[in-house]
Amino acid sequence: MRNFISDRVAQTPPSGIRKFFDIAATMKDVISLGIGEPDFVTPAPILEAGRASLARGETAYTSNSGTIELRQAISRHLQMLYGVTYNPDEEIIVTVGVSEALYLAMTAVLNPGDEAIIPEPCFVSYAPEVSFAGGAPVAVPTHVQNNFEVTAEDIDAAVTPQTKAIHLGYPNNPTGAVMSRERMMAIAAVAEEHDLLIISDEIYDQLVYGVEHTCVPALPGMRDRTILLGGFSKNYAMTGWRIGYACAPAEILGAMRKIHQYTIMSAPTTAQAAAVIALEQGAEHVARMRNEYDRRRRLLVEGFNTLGLDCFEPKGAFYTFPAIARSGMSSDKFAWTLLEEEEVAVVPGDAFGQSGAGFVRACYATSYEKLEEALNRIESFMRRHG
């Protein structure tokens, strides 16, 4: 019998994150610093909006683009926060999480052989989505010496005649890095010089600590060469609602909508009603969750540094990225051994790209008390291994 699996799928390795989650789920006393999911319940006004939508019998499809109420709310939200304006009729689409938005973006713009530059370490989906679209992902490493901020010089050096897009994900998963406005402006200049598109995943835009988030399409001249990806999972603790969005110039957005029409039809109706209230009433809840994340962030960074696991200070998202050189282990060996001996789950840094080797990702979207206990267990681990 012939092999029925496509080459591009067969050649893509499974997610380096999932195997740790699957094993950790079988362990009774495990403390997971692995999964990037808020431990907060979706705030009450958002929950009530979802319940009310169901009570009204709103269980049918919506417009392919999403309800006009939500698209208008997204437009107002981006204008208020960043001063960037999108036409809700032609330049905004509501998606099944940011994951679908990423798929739509890559599929809509990449031809076979087109290259997309991707700074690493990065979220595990970025390179596979380029490959699934027929494109060629081009990894550009970032380094702790630059706080894991990619430089314009490194991106410029990776540009070839086949380059079509630069994919950015800041605040960053897995490092927690936040790009400075100056560095983002320099990258924007590279994009203009080489006539490149920027695909900017800004899912963690409101989870920043002591710094400001730079919205790429709000930079001078960048709105018309940027696809902005955003959503509700992280900022509003709405992971299970599966609701995101993409904003882009009308021609690009129209191509993304075409794929969405044939693939998805529309995002979950109940989630769309809840997302409107998230944008209209969620600010104080986001601030409360952000303050608690900040408290946990400081605990984990100080704790790792005290244990000799050198950890630069992440300024966004809810991840730390400590170096594990002192253990004498590889990232993979460190993560497996820590899980087996102390029942603490972290993710090897090289699951997010080769420049993550020598690091692990530890998420602080879990309770302060669990983080304290995790640090106690890691201290015991390091007494034996470093």
Residue 20: predicted pLDDT: 65
Q: 282 has which bridge partners?
A: none
Q: How high is the pLDDT of residue 13? A: 78
Provide the residue count of the chain: 386
Query: What is the pLDDT, as a whole number, of residue 16?
Result: 66
Rounded distance, CA 79 to CA 56, Å?
Answer: 30
CA atoms within 13 A on the CB side of 187: 31
SS3 140: strand
- What residues contact 252, with CB distance under 8 A and at least 6 apart? 108, 109, 197, 227
Q: Indicate the pairing of strand 92-95 with strand 244-247.
A: antiparallel
**Percent helix, strand, coil in the chain (nearest 5)?**
45, 15, 40
Locate tokens 């012939």: which residue?
A: 2
The reported pLDDT for the residue numbered 268 is: 97
**Structural domain 44-281, CATH architecture:** 3-Layer(aba) Sandwich (3.40)
Residue 199, both tokens: 């695909």
* Cα 185 to Cα 324: distance, rounded to the nearest angstrom: 33
Encoded tokens for 238: 């709405």
pLDDT of residue 10: 85
pTM (2 d.p.): 0.95
Torsion of CA 179, 314, 100, 286, to 10 degrees: -100
Nearest to 199 by CA among 231, 230, 178: 230
One pLDDT digit (tens) per residue for the chain, 386 residues? 888 888 888 887 777 666 666 766 777 788 999 888 899 999 999 999 999 999 999 999 999 999 999 999 999 999 999 999 999 999 999 999 999 999 999 999 999 999 999 999 999 999 999 999 999 999 999 999 999 999 999 999 999 999 999 999 999 999 999 999 999 999 999 999 999 999 999 999 999 999 999 999 999 999 999 999 999 999 999 999 999 999 999 999 999 999 999 999 999 999 999 999 999 999 999 999 999 999 999 999 999 999 999 999 999 999 999 999 999 999 999 999 999 999 999 999 999 999 999 999 999 999 999 999 999 999 999 999 87
| Domain extents in the chain | 7-42+284-385, 44-281
Residue 210, φ and ψ in degrees, nearest 5: 75, 5
Cα gap 40→366, rounded to integer Å: 8
DSSP per position, 219-274: STTTGGGEEEEEESTTTTT-GGG--EEEE--HHHHHHHHHHHHHHTSS--HHHHHH
- Asked if the domains at 7-42+284-385 and 44-281 fall in one CATH topology, the answer is no
Q: Return the CATH class of domain 7-42+284-385.
A: alpha beta
pLDDT for the residue 152: 98
From the list 175, 117, 166, the residue with the least C-alpha distance to 144 is: 175
Rounded to 10°, the helix 44-55/269-281 angle is 140
